[in-house]
C-alpha cells in the first residue's frame, strides 16, 4: 500500500458532493439488509475505481471493497468461506471494549501500519479516502475527504467538524469475536483484531449503526453487489484469527457468493 503522509491534499477521483457533510465516529455497526441507502442528505452512486477485491487484498492494506465477479472468483470465494469452522455463539458475559485495548491504538504490534506515528482510525481514512486533507501542522489527522462507501454504494463528502455520518466498521464485530472465542485469547491478539486493517472499513455512519454485533445471517450491507465481498472479508478475518462463525452465518456467507 502507498502511504499518504504529507501536507495538504491527496488528489484522485472525486465523487459527486452530498448535501450533508459527514464525520467520523469510532464504531462497528451498520444499516439493516435490503432497503434504500440511509444518509443525512442526497448521495450519488459511488463506483470506486480504486477499490480492490478482497481476494486480491488478503492483508487489507489496499483501499475499499470491490465486488467479487466472475465464475472463477466466486468459486474461489466459496472455497475460502467453506474453510471457516463453525460453532455455536457463546454468551456475551464479561465483554468490554477495553478488553481489546483503547480505541485506534498505534501500538498493536503484528498488524499492518502499527507504530507508524498515526492512529488506526486516521490510517484507515487515508487508505480509503480520496482528496484527503490534513489538519494544519499534521501529516496524520484527516479533516476532510471523499469516501466511496462500499456498504451503500454512495459517495460521501466528509468533514471532521461533524461526527455522525462516517464510522470505521469492524467487519467481524469485537463483541461477536468475544462470543466466538476471543474472550479466551491473549490480550495482544485481541488488540490486533481491533486494529487490523483486514478487519476495518470506513463506511457510512447510518449504514454502520444498525449492525451492532450481528453476524452475516442477521446483517448484510445494503448494496447487494458487495455482499459476496463482505462475506469473503468476514471469512478472511475469521481464518486469520482462527475464529469460528455460526453455522447460520457461514451458510449466509456462502449464499452471497453462490455457494
Looking at the chain, the whole-number percentage of residues with pLDDT higher than 90 is 77
Q: Are 229 and 65 in contact (CB under 8 A)?
A: yes
Give the pLDDT score at 162. 74
The domain spans of the chain are 15-34+53-256
Beta-carbon-side half-sphere exposure of residue 177 (alpha carbons within 13 Å)? 30
Distance from C-alpha of 53 to C-alpha of 213, rounded to nearest angstrom? 24
Reported as a single tens digit per residue, the pLDDT across 30-52 is 333 333 333 333 333 445 678 99
Q: 81 CB contacts (<8 Å, ≥6 apart)?
A: 231, 232, 235, 250, 253, 254, 257, 259
Looking at the chain, the whole-number percentage of residues with pLDDT higher than 70 is 81
Q: Are 126 and 4 in contact (CB under 8 A)?
A: yes
Instruction: Name the residue among 258, 123, 255 with its Cα closest to residue 200.
Output: 123
Distance from C-alpha of 124 to C-alpha of 208, rounded to nearest angstrom? 15
Phi/psi for 176 (5° steps) reads -60, -45
Mean pLDDT of 59-72: 96
Q: Are 18 and 149 in contact (CB under 8 A)?
A: no
Give the pLDDT score at 7. 31
Give the pLDDT score at 48. 61
Residue in the structure block whose three cell numbers are 507504530: 115
Give the pLDDT score at 165. 85
Distance from C-alpha of 198 to C-alpha of 18, rounded to nearest angstrom? 28
Distance from C-alpha of 71 to C-alpha of 143, rounded to nearest angstrom? 41
Reported as a single tens digit per residue, the pLDDT across 77-116 is 999 999 999 999 999 999 999 999 999 999 999 999 999 9
Give the pLDDT score at 231. 98
Lowest model confidence (mean pLDDT) among 31-40, 57-66, 103-112, 247-256? 31-40
Q: How many helices (H) and strands (E) does the chain have?
A: 7, 7
Tell me the pTM.
0.82
Categorise residue 10: left if φ over 0, alpha if ψ from -120 to 50, beta otherwise: beta
Q: Is 9 helix (H, G, I), strand (E, B) or coil?
A: strand
Amino acid at each position: 500500500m502507498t502511504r499518504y503522509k504529507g501536507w495538504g491534499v491527496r488528489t484522485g477521483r472525486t465523487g459527486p458532493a452530498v448535501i450533508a457533510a459527514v464525520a467520523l465516529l469510532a464504531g462497528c455497526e451498520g444499516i439493516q439488509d435490503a432497503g434504500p441507502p440511509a444518509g443525512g442528505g442526497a448521495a450519488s452512486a459511488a463506483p470506486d475505481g480504486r477499490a480492490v477485491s478482497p481476494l486480491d487484498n488478503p492483508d487489507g492494506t489496499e483501499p475499499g471493497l470491490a465486488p467479487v465477479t466472475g465464475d472463477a472468483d466466486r468459486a474461489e470465494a466459496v472455497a475460502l468461506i467453506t474453510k471457516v469452522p463453525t460453532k455455536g455463539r457463546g454468551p456475551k458475559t464479561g465483554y468490554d471494549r477495553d478488553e481489546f485495548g483503547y480505541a485506534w491504538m498505534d501500538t498493536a504490534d503484528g498488524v499492518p501500519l502499527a507504530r507508524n506515528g498515526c492512529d488506526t482510525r486516521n490510517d484507515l481514512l487515508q487508505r480509503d479516502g480520496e482528496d484527503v486533507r490534513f489538519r494544519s501542522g499534521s501529516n496524520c489527522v484527516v479533516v476532510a475527504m471523499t469516501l466511496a462507501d462500499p456498504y451503500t454504494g454512495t459517495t460521501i463528502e466528509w468533514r471532521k467538524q461533524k461526527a455522525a455520518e462516517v464510522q470505521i466498521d469492524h467487519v467481524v464485530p469485537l463483541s461477536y469475536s468475544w462470543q466466538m472465542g476471543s474472550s479466551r485469547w491473549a490480550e495482544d491478539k485481541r488488540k490486533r483484531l481491533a486494529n487490523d486493517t483486514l478487519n476495518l472499513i470506513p463506511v457510512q455512519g447510518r449504514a454502520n449503526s444498525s449492525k451492532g454485533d450481528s453476524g452475516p445471517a442477521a446483517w448484510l450491507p445494503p448494496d447487494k453487489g458487495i455482499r459476496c465481498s463482505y462475506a469473503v472479508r468476514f471469512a478472511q478475518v475469521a481464518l486469520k484469527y482462527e475464529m469460528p462463525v455460526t453455522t447460520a452465518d457461514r451458510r449466509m456467507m456462502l449464499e452471497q457468493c453462490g455457494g
